[in-house]
């Protein structure tokens, strides 16, 4: 009786799997047929096909190392899934030690990558000076280097971000930043809260002949489509959008028909220090001590004779060189950094969605069923996997190397 029931359940499972495959095949056949019907009526054109004289576009990824405060904030949220509340937060007196658990760790990590003040705000923020904002964030440090160079060399910039609160911090920075020759950084801004009249006025000011407006701050979702801003020649994507098509549309605000200059696209990406390196070095020290005891014939619980064990600094230096794969001349080797959540967004999530987009165009695969919770769970799983395989592979460019990468002419 049990054998017959098990065989019938196996047959039912096989039949269900076969029916599922048949349904999938039917859908693909229908989609392919629809494509064949639509081909005579639809034409997919790209800008390069329509305008053969479009200037070139150069893309550079600038990786920014986190300063100590930012790195500590990032590591805390990553490890504890909690956040410290602002002293004036009404929930402060209702939770133990002033910390609260996070419902969405991924978004908090993205906020810290953009600037730690987005997660850990300070009082009197509008009275903070530019240097204070710059020192607390690795991407602000790199951005300041870039903007000073672009301003001094006569380029005009579009800066896109997924977070409007980050644009608030950028406004504080731009208002206070003055170059040695007295130049300032005039700006305009468009986000989801900008009225239609203010939006049109900001665009007119930026595109006006001889305009002194240096930089346009833009929310990538609210201003990434429908704007003609080809009077700019530089696009900075401050933080990655999970949907790569939004970034492509944003870049197309500058690199479009009517553009006469080469367009430079800069993607900023925060990278983290090797969070587990201290633990790895401590493990190396214990392994070295165990090997010495074995060679001396000592039991594991016995202490080594004085002077046998090298100083901690020597062990850690040797282990760090081996861990990072450095050669004997450390001065010629650049420090490497680990991926952050922004690296996952750009190198994993965006790549997957680009592959999906190609399948939609080429094979007719449509998937509109992914929920917000499923996307969040997917990103959390990627964070866990990234911690298991933590390898410092990212290099932060020096001033000289960065200047070479963003140079548009030998001069």
Q: pLDDT value at position 361?
A: 45
Q: Rounded to whole angstroms, how far apart are CA atoms 340 and 365?
A: 30
SS3 (DSSP) at 184: coil
**Is 73 contained in some domain?**
yes
Q: Assess whether 157 and 294 both reside in one domain.
A: no
C-alpha dihedral sign at 66, 72, 76, 79: positive
Q: 148 pLDDT exceeds 90?
A: yes
Which pTM does this prediction carry? Answer: 0.70
Of the residues 319, 337, 355, which one is the last residue of a structural domain?
337
Q: Is a pLDDT exceeding 50 seen at residue 366?
A: no
- Is the pLDDT at 25 greater than 90? The verdict is no
User: Is 354 among the domain residues?
Assistant: no
Q: Are 127 and 237 members of one domain?
A: yes
The parent domain of residue 71 ranges over 57-273+400-406
- Quick one: residue 97, left, alpha or beta (phi over 0 = left, psi -120 to 50 = alpha)? left
Does residue 366 belong to any structural domain of this protein? no
Same domain (yes/no): 119, 187: yes
pLDDT at 313: 46
Is 87 contained in some domain? Answer: yes
Q: Are 140 and 159 part of one and the same domain? A: yes
The mean pLDDT of the chain is 76
Q: 358 lies in a domain?
A: no
Mean pLDDT of 233-254: 89
Residue 227 lies in a domain: yes
CATH number of 213's domain:
3.40.50.300
pLDDT at 383: 65
Name the domain count of the chain.
3
What pLDDT score does 363 carry?
A: 41
Contact 338, 63 (CB under 8 A): no
Q: Which residue has the higher pLDDT, 397 or 265?
A: 265
Residue 62 counted as domain residue: yes
Per-residue pLDDT tens digits for 162-188: 999 999 999 999 998 888 888 999 999
Computed from CA positions of residues 197, 203, 207, 209, in that sequence, does the dihedral angle turn out positive or negative?
Answer: positive
Statement to judge: residues 71 and 37 lie in one domain: no
**What is the tens place of the pLDDT at every residue in 3-21?**
566 667 777 777 888 888 8
Total residue count of the chain as it appears in this document: 411
409 class by beta-carbon count within 10 Å (0-12 exposed, 13-18 middle, 19+ buried):
exposed
Q: What is the DSSP string of 248-314?
A: HHHHTTTSSTT--S-EEEEEEEEEB--TTHHHHHHHHHHHHHHHHHHHHT--TTSPPPTTTSPPHHH
Could you tell me how far CA 233 lies from the centroid of its own chain?
A: 23
């Amino acid at each position: 009786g049990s054998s017959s029931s098990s065989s019938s359940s196996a047959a039912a499972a096989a039949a269900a799997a076969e029916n599922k495959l048949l349904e999938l095949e039917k859908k693909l056949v229908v989609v392919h047929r629809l494509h064949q019907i639509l081909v005579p009526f639809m034409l997919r054109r790209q800008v390069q096909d329509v305008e053969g004289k479009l200037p070139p576009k150069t893309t550079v990824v600038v990786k920014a190392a986190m300063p100590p405060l930012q790195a500590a904030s990032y590591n805390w949220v990553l490890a504890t899934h909690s956040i410290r509340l602002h002293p004036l937060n009404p929930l402060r007196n209702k939770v133990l030690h002033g910390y609260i658990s996070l419902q969405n760790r991924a978004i908090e990590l993205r906020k810290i990558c953009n600037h730690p003040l987005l997660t850990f705000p300070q009082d009197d923020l509008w009275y903070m000076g530019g240097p204070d904002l710059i020192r607390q964030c690795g991407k602000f440090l790199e951005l300041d280097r870039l903007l000073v160079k672009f301003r001094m060399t006569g380029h005009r910039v579009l800066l896109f971000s997924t977070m409007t609160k980050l644009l608030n911090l950028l406004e504080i920075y731009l208002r206070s930043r003055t170059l040695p020759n007295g130049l300032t950084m005039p700006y305009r801004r468009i986000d989801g809260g900008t009225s239609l009249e203010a939006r049109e006025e900001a665009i007119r000011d930026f595109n006006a002949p001889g305009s002194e407006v240096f930089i346009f701050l833009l929310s990538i979702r609210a201003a990434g489509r429908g704007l003609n801003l080809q009077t700019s020649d530089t696009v900075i994507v401050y933080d990655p959008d999970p949907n790569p098509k939004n970034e492509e549309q944003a870049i197309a605000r500058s690199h479009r028909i009517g553009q006469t200059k080469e367009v430079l696209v800069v993607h900023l990406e925060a990278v983290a220090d090797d969070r587990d390196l201290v633990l790895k070095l401590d493990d190396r020290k214990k392994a070295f001590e165990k090997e010495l005891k074995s060679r001396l014939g000592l039991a594991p619980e016995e202490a080594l004779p004085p002077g046998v064990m090298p100083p901690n600094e020597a062990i850690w230096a040797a282990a760090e060189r081996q861990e990072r794969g450095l050669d004997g001349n450390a001065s010629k080797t650049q420090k490497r950094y680990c991926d952050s959540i922004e690296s996952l967004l750009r190198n994993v999530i965006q790549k997957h969605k680009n592959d999906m987009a190609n399948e939609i165009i080429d094979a007719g695969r449509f998937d509109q069923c992914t929920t917000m919770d499923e996307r969040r769970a997917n990103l959390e799983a990627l964070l866990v996997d990234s911690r298991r395989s933590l390898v410092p592979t990212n290099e932060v460019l020096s001033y000289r190397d960065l200047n070479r990468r963003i140079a548009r002419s030998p001069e």
